Amino acid sequence: SSTDTEGVTPELEKAGLLNKTKIAEGGRKLRKNWNPSWVVLVGNSLVFFKDPKSQNPDSWKPGNSRPESSVDLRGSQLQWANDLSSRKNVFKLRTVTGNEFLLQSETELLIREWYRTIQNVIDRLDKE
């Protein structure tokens, strides 16, 4: 918005509702717990919100809403992971710190767009 100081607030790339479960923490396997999550891709981070009130594109802005967690995409890896779930349209995101998440949508086009957009950010960071 016009009140942002230029260069301080990173660019919002994408936001939307996906199903999410964390399956590993620091390389240690976790029990799955699927939940809907409002996912926001901003700058170099993927930010997760669970509060339904957070489900609008402004929620990522500093001070507007408290994220459940956030992931630094630098050095992260994406792969399709239909072998890791009975659900369709699933991919796995693995961070450099060994945290692993599955993200899923009932809508194939939507999950493909998320995959492509996140991969583009990872590729851009790899080149820096």
The residue ranges that bind ligand I3S (CB under 6 A) are: 31-32, 34, 85-87
Burial of 86 (0-12, 13-18, 19+ CB in 10 A): exposed
CA dist., res. 51 & res. 127, Å (int)? 35
CA dist., res. 89 & res. 14, Å (int)? 18
CB closer to ligand I3S, 78 vs 121: 78
- In angstroms, give the least distance from the CB of 86 to ligand I3S: 3
CB closer to ligand I3S, 34 vs 80: 34
- In angstroms, give the least distance from the CB of 87 to ligand I3S: 5
CB closer to ligand I3S, 20 vs 59: 20
3-state DSSP assignment of residue 102 = strand
Tell which phi-psi region holds residue 86, choosing left (phi > 0), alpha (psi between -120 and 50) or beta.
alpha
- In angstroms, give the least distance from the CB of 99 to ligand I3S: 17
- In angstroms, give the least distance from the CB of 85 to ligand I3S: 3
